[in-house]
């Protein structure tokens, strides 16, 4: 199945003025977990935090078409350099919030409001208005990736409600067909005129993205080298396949299952509320969420902090 790539950066970012089709962007500053204070598998360990200032990056958006199915991909690059490693993010399903994403024209894979909502999960804010994301999940994935010690690009396929693929209709063959995925990564790299190279792959997922994440990793197994796979509070405490990556870093809150006698079942790092006592934003965010523990842990703390930490505590 032939894959074609079309830059649509100008429609989403308001301009497309560089040969790479990647515009300068500002990433939100955020508190980060000090990895030196983190003790794995010690449930009463309470890591400390420090502040990571706002960063600059380069962002492009590309529509990838395989056969009759199109999905948009968001690319974030460091401000300088040509990374040869790519972190691929498989975000949660959107059909469970059908009304919210319908308002964002979620049936259209090139929908600007839909893509900007995903951009806000990466940048921490809308790229045009600079407003915080409207939905509950507050992630800042871009700041976590670019602020880590491993220079890499970040690529995120944007889900749609329009169908196109039995295993994962929201991502279509871009989550299940290894050749399509490999051709898409190579095609986006070519469209940027070599601004990055997808030689090594890392990946992460959050919440209900876990099933698609496993499908994605199985699809590229043997085609692309996957160094690290990271899960952030996966739905039903589903594990990443143990043979699908060189290293696994899996994080569980206890709010999505997988806990027996106060401890996680399987290969998970357990993060109950007590481990977050040093989060400078915990009390404020808990008030915003009306003291809802699930919302604080699952929708804020895990996507806001644990991607960067997971990168820092695994090896390249």
SS3 content of the chain, % helix, strand, coil (to 5): 30, 25, 45
Q: Return the half-sphere exposure (C-beta side, CA atoms, 13 A cut-off) of residue 110.
A: 13
Count of domains observed in the chain: 1
DSSP 169-212: TTTGGGTT-HHHHHHHHHHHHHHTTSS---SEEEEEEEGGGHHH
Distance CA 254, CA 286 (A): 17
Give the predicted TM-score (pTM) of the model: 0.96
First-residue to last-residue Cα distance in the chain: 32
What is the reported pLDDT for 125?
A: 77
pLDDT score, position 166: 62
CB of 239 closer than 8 Å to CB of 125: no
Expressed as residue numbers, the domain containing 55 is 3-312
pLDDT on residue 136: 81
- Asked whether the beta carbons of 252 and 214 are under 8 A apart, the reply is no
Residue 18 has a pLDDT of 97
Q: What is the DSSP letter of 131?
A: P
CB 258 within 8 A of CB 237: yes
* pLDDT tens for each residue of the chain, 316 residues long: 899 999 999 999 999 999 999 999 999 999 999 999 999 999 999 999 999 999 999 999 999 999 999 999 999 999 999 999 999 999 999 998 899 999 999 999 999 999 999 999 999 877 777 677 777 888 999 999 999 999 999 999 999 997 765 667 999 999 999 999 999 999 999 999 999 999 999 999 999 999 999 999 999 999 999 999 999 999 999 999 989 999 999 999 999 998 888 888 889 999 999 999 999 999 999 999 999 999 999 999 999 999 999 999 998 7
Vertex 240: Cα angle to 222 and 257 (nearest 5): 170
3-state SS, residue 48:
coil
Of 135, 137, 153, whose CA–CA distance to 145 is shortest? 153
- Strands 49-52 and 30-33 come out as antiparallel
Neighbours of 37 (CB within 10 A): 13
CATH number at residue 261: 3.40.50
pLDDT score, position 179 = 97
Distances in Å between the alpha carbon of 259 and those of 78, 135, 252, 266, 271? Answer: 38, 28, 9, 9, 11
Q: Mapping DSSP to helix (H, G, I), strand (E, B) and coil, where does residue 292 land?
A: coil
HSE-up of residue 309 (Cα within 13 Å, Cβ side): 28
d(CA 237, CA 14): 39
Residue 7 pLDDT: 98
Q: Is 87 helix (H, G, I), strand (E, B) or coil?
A: strand
229 φ/ψ angles, rounded to the nearest 5 degrees: -125, 130
Cβ(124)–Cβ(145) under 8 Å? no
């Amino acid at each position: 199945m032939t894959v074609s790539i079309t830059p649509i950066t100008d429609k989403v970012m308001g301009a497309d003025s560089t040969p790479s089709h990647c515009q300068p962007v500002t990433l939100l500053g955020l508190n980060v977990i000090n990895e030196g204070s983190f003790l794995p598998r010690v449930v009463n360990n309470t890591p400390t935090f420090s502040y990571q200032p706002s960063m600059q990056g380069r962002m492009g958006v590309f529509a990838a078409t395989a056969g009759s199915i199109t999905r948009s991909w968001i690319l974030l690059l460091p401000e300088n350099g040509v990374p040869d490693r790519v972190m691929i993010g498989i975000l949660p399903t959107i059909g469970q919030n059908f009304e919210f994403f319908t308002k964002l024209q979620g049936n259209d894979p090139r929908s600007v409001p839909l893509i900007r909502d995903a951009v806000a999960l990466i940048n921490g804010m809308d790229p045009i208005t600079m407003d915080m994301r409207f939905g509950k999940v507050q992630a800042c994935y871009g700041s976590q990736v670019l602020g880590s010690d491993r220079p890499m690009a970040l690529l995120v396929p944007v889900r749609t409600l329009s169908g196109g693929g039995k295993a994962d209709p929201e991502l279509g063959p871009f989550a299940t067909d290894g050749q399509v995925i490999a051709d898409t990564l190579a095609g986006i790299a070519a469209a940027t005129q070599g601004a990055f190279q997808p030689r090594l792959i890392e990946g992460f997922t959050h919440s209900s993205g876990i099933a698609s994440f496993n499908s994605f990793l199985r699809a590229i197994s043997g085609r692309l080298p996957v160094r690290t796979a990271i899960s952030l509070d996966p739905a039903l405490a589903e594990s990443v396949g143990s043979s699908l990556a060189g290293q696994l870093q899996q994080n569980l809150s206890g709010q999505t299952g997988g806990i027996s006698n106060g401890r996680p079942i399987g290969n998970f790092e357990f993060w109950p509320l007590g481990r977050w006592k040093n989060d400078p934003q915990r009390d404020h965010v808990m008030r915003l969420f009306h003291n809802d523990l699930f919302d604080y842990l699952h929708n804020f703390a895990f996507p806001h902090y644990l991607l960067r930490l997971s990168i820092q505590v695994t090896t390249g």
